[in-house]
Structure formats: structure tokens, C-alpha cells
């Protein structure tokens, strides 16, 4: 897995709560395309096919460019490295021009699974959950990420699975 750069230390404006250890701040990068190269070729083939269909079937040079751009844009979180940061303010995921952030005060529920943790502003599971909150992938930092999420969210009774 492509993961790099962990920063652990005292935050400037955050003091540990009573009974807590020093604040945890993490930064790391996960590259899904590097982890799953077979899927990378599928995405690139789909983009190429969209360009082919746009030009040869629809007969449009514009569609020959728009089709692949739509495919590549929709899969940008897979194609581009995702940089995660967990700190006293919240959890942030960045890739390309996309930035997704959730403040700890807005986290109502956490759900841990094998690949990462979903930080949701919704109190109960719903169809909207896919569009709300931040999904934080572990990379090869599962224990550190889980510890940081539990530390900052104050949620030791999170949903697993």
C-alpha cells in the first residue's frame, strides 16, 4: 500500500482532556490505483472506450474528449493519491481539487470496517450516508487511525462492520 508521512505530536491549540494522552495528529497518503492495478486498467479502458464511442459512433470530436473526462473525473478518488489528515479540527481527505472535511463536533456516528472508518454527521444509517461525512481509509495505519478517531471523537463505543 502506498502510505507515507505520519506526524504525531502536540497540537498548538488543543490540550489533552483529563485522563487523555497527548493529542494525536496524523497525516498519510493512500493510493488506490497502486493498491489495485488491475482496476486501473479497467478504468483506463472505460475512458478509452468512451472516447472511441464519442468519436466513431456519435461522430463528435467534443464527445471524444468529454466522455473520457467524465469517466476520469468520476474515478478521481481512485486514480489520484488521497491525502488524509486527522487533527484537533476534524478529519480531511484531499485528492486533486477535491477536499472533504468533517469537524469532530459534527461527527454523530463512526463505523469501522476492514478498509477504513466512516465519520458520519447522521445519527442513524440512511441512504444519504454515502453523500455525507468522510470515509477515511487506513492504508497501513489501521491502529493509529482507529486510535486517533477514538481520541478526537471521544467515541469508544463505535459501530463495527
Average the pLDDT over 79-94 and give the result. 96
Q: What is the DSSP string of 41-56?
A: HHHHHHHHHHHHIIII
Residue 20 is predicted with a pLDDT of 53
Q: How many residues would you count in the chain?
A: 161
State what percent of residues in the chain have pLDDT above 90.
Answer: 70
Q: What is the DSSP string of 66-109?
A: HHHHHHHHHTHHHHS-EEEEE-SSEEEEEETTEEEEEEGGG--E
CA-angle at 89, arms to 3 and 87, nearest 5° = 30
The fold adopted by the segment(s) 26-31+81-160 is: PH-domain like (2.30.29)
Check pLDDT > 50 for residue 154: yes
CA dist 36 and 13 (Å) reads: 39
This prediction's pTM: 0.78
Residue 64 is predicted with a pLDDT of 93
Average the pLDDT over 109-117 and give the result. 94
Residue 93 is predicted with a pLDDT of 97
Residue 125 is predicted with a pLDDT of 87
Residue 153 is predicted with a pLDDT of 86
For residue range 16-73, list pLDDT tens digits in order.
445 555 677 999 999 999 999 999 999 999 999 999 999 998 888 999 999 999 999 9
**Which residues are within 8 A (CB) of 120 and not within 5 positions of it... i.e. 6 or more apart?**
107, 108, 109, 110, 111, 129, 132, 133
Q: Where are the domains of the chain?
A: 26-31+81-160, 37-76
**Which residues are within 8 A (CB) of 111 and not within 5 positions of it... i.e. 6 or more apart?**
117, 118, 120, 158, 159, 160, 161
Check pLDDT > 80 for residue 88: yes
Amino acid at each position: 500500500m502506498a502510505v507515507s508521512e505520519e506526524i504525531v505530536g502536540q497540537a498548538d491549540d488543543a490540550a489533552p482532556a483529563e485522563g487523555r494522552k497527548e493529542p494525536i495528529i496524523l497525516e498519510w497518503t493512500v493510493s488506490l490505483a497502486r493498491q489495485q492495478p488491475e482496476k486501473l486498467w479497467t478504468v483506463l479502458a472505460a475512458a478509452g472506450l468512451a472516447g472511441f464511442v464519442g468519436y466513431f459512433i456519435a461522430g463528435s470530436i467534443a464527445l471524444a474528449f468529454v466522455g473520457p473526462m467524465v469517466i476520469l473525473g468520476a474515478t478521481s478518488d481512485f486514480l489520484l493519491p488521497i491525502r488524509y489528515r486527522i487533527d484537533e479540527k476534524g478529519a480531511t481527505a484531499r485528492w486533486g481539487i477535491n477536499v472533504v472535511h468533517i469537524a469532530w463536533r459534527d461527527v454523530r456516528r463512526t463505523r469501522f470496517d476492514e478498509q477504513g472508518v466512516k465519520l458520519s454527521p447522521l445519527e442513524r444509517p440512511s441512504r444519504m450516508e454515502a453523500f455525507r461525512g468522510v470515509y477515511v481509509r487506513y492504508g497501513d495505519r489501521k491502529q493509529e487511525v482507529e486510535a486517533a478517531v477514538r481520541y478526537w471523537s471521544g467515541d469508544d463505543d463505535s459501530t463495527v462492520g
